[in-house]
Amino acid sequence: MAKSALLVLEDGSVFSGVSIGIDGLSVGEVVFNTAMTGYQEILSDPSYAKQIVTLTYPHIGNVGTNSEDNESSQVYAAGLVIRDLPLLASNWRCQQSLSDYLSANRVVAIADIDTRRLTRLLRDKGAQRGCIIAGDTLDQGLALQAIDGFAGLKGLDLAKEVTTHTRYEWRENTWSLEQGHKPAEQLSKHVVAYDFGVKRNILRLLVNRGCRVTVVPATTSADEVLALKPDGIFLSNGPGDPEPCDYAINAIKTLLTEQIPVFGICLGHQLLALASGAQTEKMKFGHHGANHPVIDIATGRVMISSQNHGFAVNEASLPANLIATHRSLFDGSLQGIKRTDVPAFSFQGHPEASPGPHDVEGLFDGFVAMMT
Ligand SMILES: NC(=O)CC[C@H](N)C(=O)O
């Protein structure tokens, strides 16, 4: 018999379902993601730390999980909420069912709830603080207490918590159906990548373009980065609010005076903006999905992108040396920026996909071209 579980929200809403992970209680910001595939990449994306992810696609788990599709070494999402877990996981790459994967990674998760009702609620009221409890005894009062004890993501520096403790070299190339991981390329450009919660596919796409990648902890100083003699500096994605990451903002300010190419993704984009004098703000329910249209303002070209952010750069706050390069066609919010005085640019969505379409991958080529 499946154990029961409850999802409780700060507004008092309660959804009851069945547990598909471990027994226990987990609190976080509840958000919805509209991607139809890629649940394993989403769960292991460090940017989801302290967030409980609801997947709007109704059948989740059909293809199980495997050891190659993780975007980091563990699950970072604080919990998973789905409609229906199929009885059977079937795929030639499947090594573990989703439910076994959730248990092995110590995740509290709930299925059999009305994710359409939940998503409408989140859309109307905004992302909610919430709690999943699973097990033999379900105490709603305890869940509400846990929610009270969680202040939300605003003001929370999580990059420092998920970053690597030690510097390391990344050599693994991209994966394809025909070849698995491709053999190493000739590596001619040296990229120092700040790990604020980096996804592996970003590092692979850099290797695929001939970059030797050195990944450094989030708190690495500008002097330490410069001592590594980088041809380019990459600012990664990551969880939490960018504003309290003053150590990173200060380092980026210094690095921007060096005329070394800088490329930022998501949190890295927000940090580049803050270091350039712009401002960020919390969004109502953010962008989480793999089907978000974004326009390249200079060419008018529309690309479908992967997205995962709850904060955004306020376009009205851009200083004179920062121009808008991309906008979301869902809500008009800023999706890309470029410095006019130094070689630095960034994108709010996820050009590395994983999961999602590859329309925006050309930004990696732009970064390599800047270094050449
Ligand atoms: N994927 C990311 O890097 C997310 C950035 C930031 N934590 C946000 O929610 O906006």
Average confidence score pLDDT of the chain:
97
Which residue among 148, 180, 214 closes a domain? 148
Candidates 77, 135, 84; CA nearest to 107 is 77
Share of the chain above pLDDT 90, in %: 96
Tens-place pLDDT, residues 5-30: 999 999 999 999 999 999 999 999 99
Each residue of 296-341: pLDDT tens digit? 999 999 999 999 999 999 999 999 999 999 999 999 999 999 999 9
Both 9 and 50 in one domain: the answer is yes
Would 239 be classed as within a structural domain?
yes
Q: Are 352 and 205 in contact (CB under 8 A)?
A: yes
Do 212 and 268 lie in one domain? The reply is: yes
**Ligand 1 centroid, distance to 186 Cα (angstroms):** 32
Predicted-assembly ipTM surpassing the 0.85 threshold: yes
| Domain span including residue 64 | 4-148
Residue 185 pLDDT grade (very low, low, confident, very high; cuts 50, 70, 90): confident
Cα-based distances in Å from 359 to 57, 157, 296, 352: 22, 30, 11, 9
Element (H or E) spanning 265, and its range?
Answer: strand 262-265
**Domain assignment of residue 94, yes or no:** yes
Q: Whose CA is closest to 15, among 94, 99, 128?
A: 128
Task: Show the tokens assigned to 25.
Answer: 């209680």
Is 240 annotated to bind a ligand? Reply is yes
β-pairing, 262-265 vs 280-296, is unpaired
Please pick, among 10, 71, 243, 352, the residue that the annotation labels catalytic: 352
Residues 205 and 344 reside in one and the same domain: yes
Q: Which pLDDT value is given to residue 105?
A: 98
302 belongs to a structural domain: yes
For residue 266, report the distance from its CA to the centre of ligand 1, in Å.
Answer: 5
Bridge partners of 28, per DSSP, are: 130
- Of the candidates 29, 131, 266, 292, the residue annotated as catalytic is 266
Q: Are residues 136 and 164 in the same domain?
A: no
Pick the last residue of a domain from 120, 148, 176.
148
Q: β-pairing, 4-9 with 128-135? A: antiparallel
User: Is there a domain that residue 33 lies in?
Assistant: yes
Mean pLDDT of 257-275: 98
Residue the block writes with tokens 């909610």: 128
Q: Same structural domain for residues 136 and 225?
A: no
- Cα dihedral 64, 68, 72, 74, rounded to 10, equals 50
- 85 marked as binding residue: no
Domain boundary residue among 106, 124, 148? Answer: 148
Contact 348, 336 (CB under 8 A): yes
Average pLDDT over residues 284-291: 98
Q: How far is the CA of 242 from the centre of ligand 1 (A)?
A: 8
DSSP symbol at 84: B
The reply to whether 134 and 166 lie within a common domain is: no
Q: Are residues 171 and 115 in the same domain?
A: no
Q: Output phi, psi for 264, to 5 deg.
A: -125, 145
